Structure 1
């Protein structure tokens, strides 16, 4: 449990297409660009917090002069919602890069960007009040069928040859299970953003099951028979 009031109004952010961090989830990051090494050093000296957020323009739709990966400080537009995480592991590698593990604390809404930029990386002014349950104790829910979700996720991940640690997932609480599955499933960036912005846990479950159901129906006929009447 983390006190929402302790979260800062200004945070350094790592804009990265396709990266999804959710509360109580764990996101490994490979940091090697100088500006993001600066960001990690800055965060470590401050409070250990880094905000993850996606660029709102696909890397495939960028115009001439835009950064192709959505990470450079060149005014790439960002989505209005992200998630702040705490550095829970940090390894400085021999090649000069860093291996970082972020643990999700709370989602946030963007108020604005800190301008002019005082660092090599971007910083945002944010607010957390719409997500006041994120920092609370892990949630359990009686409004969705946990076993159905697990079975559906197993069939979906098999399509993409992804093998998560099922023995670990099955021991988690409902909130941790849902968020971990949302993070590990290979949804596209827009789908991941929609999952991030689904405030109640039940809405996230409903959306995730619809996304998996569509993939199973179109990708492997017959798999959905066990999930629909």
Structure 2
């Protein structure tokens, strides 16, 4: 478990469109670019082993980073025969980017502020208003329309936070939608955002009412 005192002022960041890391949730990553292999090598030498995941977005002036990201601790890694790495980040805490730090590393680093996200370092959240049967019914329609399958028995058994965060990470939403899920202030608002995105997708994105 990461504590507040373990959170550094400057962290390496990995801008990856559509990749969503959430507190207390895992994110598997495949690293192969030389700059990110160098980043992993440097991160493994630190005591906290933190990497910040950030959504980039395009503007007329070029690529920029969203202000809010989430840092994860490298909790597993393995090397392939051709020198690539499979790693797992375990979500530690969200952060706000203060500024990008210039330096001699091939990867990007940012000065960050961790304030406002104290709950990320605490125990798992609960969603007291979660109507799981209704949610699972809509989810089933969404997965069927997307041609996706899942282990329903496993989904029925997991806690609210793991279910909502896993679906937020795995469902094929646009990067801006993933950012909205990341920035949700509570598990309840994340679940509400997730349901809105699923229902919007079922309408075909055209704003028409869902047929019940």
Counterpart of 1:128 in structure 2 is 114
1:94, distance to aligned residue in structure 2 (A): 0.5
Q: 1:123-182, CA deviations, whole angstroms, 9 ceiling, x for partnerless residues?
A: 111112211111111122212212222222222122222234444333322122111110
Counterpart of 1:28 in structure 2 is 28
Instruction: Please give the alpha-carbon distance, in whole angstroms, between the structure 2 residues aligned to 1:81 and 1:195.
Output: 11
**1:139–1:175: 8 Å Cα contact kept in structure 2?**
yes
**2:16–2:54: 8 Å Cα contact kept in structure 1?**
yes
**2:126–2:187: 8 Å Cα contact kept in structure 1?**
no
Instruction: Please give the alpha-carbon distance, in whole angstroms, between the structure 1 residues aligned to 2:27 and 2:149.
Output: 16
- The number of residue pairs the alignment matches comes to 209
SS in 2 for 1:170: helix
Counterpart of 1:78 in structure 2 is 65
Counterpart of 2:2 in structure 1 is 2
Instruction: Please give the alpha-carbon distance, in whole angstroms, between the structure 2 residues aligned to 1:40 and 1:24.
Output: 20
Instruction: Please give the alpha-carbon distance, in whole angstroms, between the structure 1 residues aligned to 2:143 and 2:67.
Output: 29
Note if 1:53 corresponds to 2:70: no
Which has the larger share of strand?
2
Q: 1:60-96, CA deviations, whole angstroms, 9 ceiling, x for partnerless residues?
A: x778xx6xxxxxxxxx310001110111110111111
1:207, distance to aligned residue in structure 2 (A): 1.1
**2:49–2:74: 8 Å Cα contact kept in structure 1?**
yes
Note if 1:137 corresponds to 2:146: no
Counterpart of 1:109 in structure 2 is 96
**2:2–2:92: 8 Å Cα contact kept in structure 1?**
yes
Instruction: Please give the alpha-carbon distance, in whole angstroms, between the structure 2 residues aligned to 1:79 and 1:146.
Output: 31
Work out which of the residue numbers 166, 171, 174 in structure 2 matches 1:185.
171
Counterpart of 1:163 in structure 2 is 149
Distance change in 2, residues 1:97/1:144 (3 Å): same
Instruction: Please give the alpha-carbon distance, in whole angstroms, between the structure 1 residues aligned to 2:4 and 2:140.
Output: 34
**1:138–1:173: 8 Å Cα contact kept in structure 2?**
no
Unaligned runs of 5+ in 1: 67-75
- Alignment RMSD: 2.1
Query: Pairwise mapping of residues 193-204 of structure 1 onto structure 2 (< 5 A)?
Result: 193-204=179-190
Distance change in 2, residues 1:10/1:34 (3 Å): same
SS in 2 for 1:77: strand
